[in-house]
Amino acid sequence: MRSSALVVVAILSLTACAGNSSGGSVSSPGVSGSGTPTPSASSSGVPEPTSLVWKPCTEKELDGLDCGTLVVPKNYADAGAGTFSLAVVRAKATGTAGQRIGSLFFNPGGPGVSSVSLAPQVVPALPQQLRQRFDFVTWDPRGVGRSSGLTECKDATYELPATGTVDWNSVVDQMRTAAKTSNQECAKRYPDVVPYISTNANARDLDRLRAAVGDTKLTYWGTSYGTRIGYVYGHDYPDRVRAMLLSSPVDPAGTWQSFAYGSATSPDNAVGFFFEAYPLAEQQYDRVINSLTSQALTLPSGAQVTHWSVQAIVANSVKGQSDYSSAVQLLATVDAAIFGTAAAQTKAKAALDTMPWTQGPSINGGAPPFVGCLDYPQRMTRDEQAAMAARIRGTAPVFGWGASQGVFFCEGVDVTPDPVPVDFTNTVTPVLVMGTTRDALTQYGWATDVARTFRNSRVVTYVGTVHTPFLGAGSACVDAPGIDYLVTLKRPTVDVACPNTAVKN
């Protein structure tokens, strides 16, 4: 799930903040084998912090931020497996020493999103109350970006017929084979990385980071997949959480099958909301897709616009309500290019020719499949994959064909699973959950599942499609309780429902 509440994702290579993984070893206080963390010998029960030295970042894009490197064991049960060097960045609190509370740790999700690369965009967008009271701290998790990232791994690609009937059995075989090849090539290139990038390990790294910055307890803001790191941390270290805000969370009690289905059908849930708000756009969509299914639209450059392209762009555009207008404009332009007057067709085709239409459908490679297949032990047979993909296409006719990619993530992945916990019985970690009713990437029901799982929690609901609504929906109704909670630890006394801020009926 590649996403961010505030910014465009960019993953870049950098050595200024952190080096590559080394073959050395470090001790691993605070864990017992690969299971539940145990206290160290310190009287407080908190693991002793390892060294984290801050220096001004040397890369231009990180100007104004501090950079550091934290060395962590690849395998907390086997120090001899080597280490990772985690790239960490900080924006110091702007308030006085008396105003400063501690550090606000942030992870934007993915898995595979470089938090370090996002920091220069996230920091200026933070409200003053958070900037004054917290050092903003984020890091590239192991296997991501500057932290021994799987930067050379490629997405898998497959082909669909531009028009006419689709042999879905053949397409499913293509997707399966392509994912297998991509994953095997990635594992061959990074054999010393892919077995060690589970969320359980990331949660332990986060506890090392918390200790390294000197915080007794963790203040955490996670979005999308970043919520999985958060709730695993809350499970493993319940007494070390000060505040935890989880925006557009992943189901903490889910399976690989439920995750694959829920994330694959979410884009169509969002598209449905968009069409309800813009009925003319829905009419144009139906007319355009019916036409393109029979005959692709050829542009002056020779590029072709297919119904697959239009469906994918519409599904992607509704993830953030700021892109609603671009989806409306796209459908109007394609409609004019097909059904308009001769002059309107010429103008519309010229406008469409400025867009990239050559990129084919793909399946995420690199970190997403390896993290997912480490986190969840369930696997699907070939028949189960085909049945799940067909179910997704039937439930989600706009983008189910593409979003079903997750069904095939574990093809060619040969790593021993390190399953995330799913039993949160009696967990009392303080949590504030933010969910969107028609979230374009994660099911709203997953937000309520977190609330049921973590008994000591409240839910703020945003009506709309925005993925990660906290500081992403432009809603004071959403943002105010989140900011108040992070600063004062006061959560709403009851769950909160917030109206959409973009669509005016």
Q: Is the dihedral of CA 501, 324, 156, 400 positive or negative?
A: positive
Burial class (CB in 10 A: 0-12, 13-18, 19+), 94: middle
The confidence score (pLDDT) of residue 184 equals: 98
Which residue segment(s) compose the domain that 301 sits in?
Answer: 154-189+255-421
- Does any domain span residue 265? yes
User: Is residue 332 pLDDT above 60, yes or no?
Assistant: yes
CA distance 65 to 61: 9
The confidence score (pLDDT) of residue 502 equals: 87
pLDDT-derived band of residue 503, with 50, 70 and 90 as boundaries? Answer: confident
Q: What is the mean pLDDT of the chain?
A: 90
The confidence score (pLDDT) of residue 47 equals: 41
The confidence score (pLDDT) of residue 37 equals: 41
pLDDT in tens, 178-235: 999 999 999 999 999 999 999 999 999 999 999 999 999 999 999 999 999 999 999 9
Collapse the DSSP code of 196 into the 3-class scheme (helix H, G, I; strand E, B; otherwise coil) and give the result: helix
Element (DSSP H or E) covering residue 189: helix 168-189
Q: What average pLDDT does range 126-134 have in this prediction?
A: 98
pTM: 0.90
pLDDT in tens, 8-53: 332 222 222 223 333 332 222 223 233 334 333 333 333 444 678 9
The tokens describing 374, both together, are 């480490």
- Does any domain span residue 238? no
Instruction: Say how many C-beta atoms besides its own lie within 10 A of residue 293's C-beta.
Output: 16
The confidence score (pLDDT) of residue 35 equals: 38
CA distance 345 to 459: 48
Element (DSSP H or E) covering residue 110: none
| Residue among 371, 456, 380, 377 nearest 421 (CA) | 377
pLDDT-derived band of residue 101, with 50, 70 and 90 as boundaries? Answer: very high
pLDDT in tens, 354-371: 998 867 899 999 999 999
pLDDT in tens, 250-264: 999 999 999 999 999
pLDDT in tens, 406-465: 999 999 999 999 999 998 877 788 899 999 999 999 999 999 999 988 888 999 999 999
The confidence score (pLDDT) of residue 19 equals: 30
- Does any domain span residue 140? no
Q: What average pLDDT does range 462-471 have in this prediction?
A: 97
Percent of the chain with pLDDT over 90: 84
User: How many folded domains does the chain comprise?
Assistant: 1
Q: What average pLDDT does range 105-131 have in this prediction?
A: 97
- Does any domain span residue 95? no
The confidence score (pLDDT) of residue 71 equals: 95
The confidence score (pLDDT) of residue 18 equals: 27
Q: What average pLDDT does range 372-395 have in this prediction?
A: 97
- Does any domain span residue 263? yes
The confidence score (pLDDT) of residue 174 equals: 97
The confidence score (pLDDT) of residue 14 equals: 20
The confidence score (pLDDT) of residue 505 equals: 56
- Does any domain span residue 292? yes
| Residue among 220, 202, 207, 206 nearest 40 (CA) | 207
The confidence score (pLDDT) of residue 358 equals: 66
- Does any domain span residue 399? yes
